[in-house]
Amino acid sequence: MRKALIVQGGWDGHQPKEVAAIFAELLGKEQFDVVVSDTLDSFKDAELMISLDLIVPIWTMGSIAQEQLRPLLDAVQAGCGIAGCHGGMSDAFRNEVEYQHMVGGQWVAHPGNDGVRYEVSMSRPDDPLTEGIGDFEVSSEKYYMHVDPAITVHATTDFDGVKMPVVWTKTWGQGRVYHNTLGHQANIVEMPPVLELMRRGFLWAARPQA
């Protein structure tokens, strides 16, 4: 059985506890042994980190000490997958550029705030991470991202004539990185197409089974 660590906390406005519960249930159904933690010190637990196949950060803003960050970066570099959504992965640890480098992007703005209605478009019909999901509409915050040009984009939205990445993947050393910018709060995460995107992303990012 593969093992996943969910670390939740930071700004309560993104409902980290509620989203962590949704993701823990989803991963449990996919036969993961799931550990849910509310402290960044979990990254300092060497025995735990070595045992992991997937890390799911749900920690908005905040700060992370180097003795917490370095084991996280090293674990992904060594082959542990990391996957998450807006509420806690691409708006976290704003001063830590190496973390942003690993993630592949960083939130910078959401003009109009919550309640903006927009379409999320799948990039390729034959993409296994998006195949059969189809384009869908969401009413939420709409995110302007600064992104790494090395990412592989799987879904986009139109942002004033710019194709803005919504779902992307990349690698960090031997580890796989999956990110979905949707996920302002639990109600967005629970939308069937968003939850299916996350399910596929978790499975893709997790360390391959031997």
State the pLDDT confidence band at 150, using cuts at 50, 70 and 90. Answer: very high
How much is the pLDDT for 89?
A: 94
- Which band of pLDDT confidence, cut at 50, 70 and 90, is reported for residue 87? confident
pLDDT at 210 > cutoff 90: no
Q: Which residues pair with 109 in a beta bridge?
A: 144
Q: Is residue 154 part of a domain?
A: yes
Residue pointed to by tokens 């992307």: 168
One-letter amino acid of 166:
V
Q: Could you count the other beta carbons within 10 Å of the beta carbon of residue 111?
A: 11
- Percent of the chain at pLDDT exceeding 90: 90
What CATH number is associated with residue 114?
Answer: 3.40.50.880
Is residue 210 included in any domain, yes or no?
A: no
pLDDT in tens, 28-74: 999 999 999 999 999 999 999 999 999 999 999 999 999 999 999 99
Q: Total domain count for the chain?
A: 1
Q: Are strands 81-85 and 175-180 parallel, antiparallel or unpaired?
A: parallel
**Whole-number Å distance between alpha carbons of 191 and 197:** 10
Structural domain including 196 reads 2-205
Mean pLDDT of 140-169: 96
What pLDDT, in 10s, does the model give residues 128-143? Answer: 999 999 999 999 999 9
